[in-house]
Amino acid sequence: MSKIIQLKGRGIVVRGNDLDTDRIIPARYLKEVAFGNMGQYPFYDERFGADGEKKKHPFNDERFSGASILLVNKNFGCGSSREHAPQALMRWGIKAIVGESFAQIFAGNCTMLGIPTLVASPDEINLLMELVEEHPNHLLEVDVQKNMITVDKHEITATMNASAQNALTEGTWDSASLLLSAKDKIKEVATQLPYFNNFGDGQ
């Protein structure tokens, strides 16, 4: 199981409060059965016109190409609970999100994908945003265990939900890997249950 304790990467800034999941990933892309192509679609309608021409947007800005730490403002990920929103961000390349606040379901969906969502004060978020916008090549260090963001000699306290933090740092966020690691124990318990008498036959 993968423990997520520290992350390092360049930042990208998307400003604005109440950026909902419909803006993160337009509803027409929810028809995707698998998530493999989702990395093309984050903020799609804000990045491209009806004619397919690029608009001015951080996700189109070459200065932020390859960035992996997303900086946002208040109530990010509000709206519907679609899992496609964090999937699209993750597949674009986002590994952590730092903001003023997050919608609870969105933050939970991020945790299930191994994406930390850390919260800092508005002043600290604004400082981080300004630093990244002025110096897009600076690396941000995100310490999930110590609740700390470091960039250009600035250290900023950024907290997150305690249960999500434990899941990430202990590696239990990955439910599939957790089940696979307990396969033998699951089989042992299942064979003791009368309605699973043939559990594991032929395996």
DSSP 85: H
Residues 179 and 161 in one domain: no
Residue in the block written with tokens 């423990």: 3
Residues 114 and 155 in one domain: yes
Tens digit of each residue's pLDDT (9 = 90 or more) over 21-60? 999 999 998 887 778 889 999 999 999 999 999 999 999 9
85 touches 77 (CB < 8 A): yes
Residue 192, token pair as written in the block = 């003791």
**Number of domains present in the structure of the chain:** 2
Residues 187 and 161 in one domain: no
pTM for the full predicted model: 0.86
Residue among 92, 70, 94, 93 at smallest CA distance from 19: 70
Q: Are strands 139-143 and 148-151 parallel, antiparallel or unpaired?
A: antiparallel
Residues 11 and 108 in one domain: yes
Residue 58, token pair as written in the block = 């951080």
The neighbouring-strand residues paired with 48 are: 54
pLDDT at 179 over 60: no
Tens digit of each residue's pLDDT (9 = 90 or more) over 104-139? 999 999 999 999 999 999 999 999 999 999 999 999
165 touches 45 (CB < 8 A): no
Q: Which domain holds residue 187?
A: 173-203
152 touches 121 (CB < 8 A): no
Asked if residue 164 belongs to a domain, the reply is: yes
Confidence at residue 16, expressed as pLDDT on a 0 to 100 scale:
97
* Cα 110 from Cα 76, distance rounded (Å): 12
Residue 158, token pair as written in the block = 């950024």
* Cα 164 from Cα 122, distance rounded (Å): 22
Residue in the block written with tokens 């249960």: 163
Residues 104 and 188 in one domain: no
DSSP 144: T
Confidence at residue 36, expressed as pLDDT on a 0 to 100 scale:
83
* Cα 162 from Cα 183, distance rounded (Å): 27
pLDDT at 188 over 70: no
Residues 120 and 25 in one domain: yes
pLDDT at 178 over 60: no
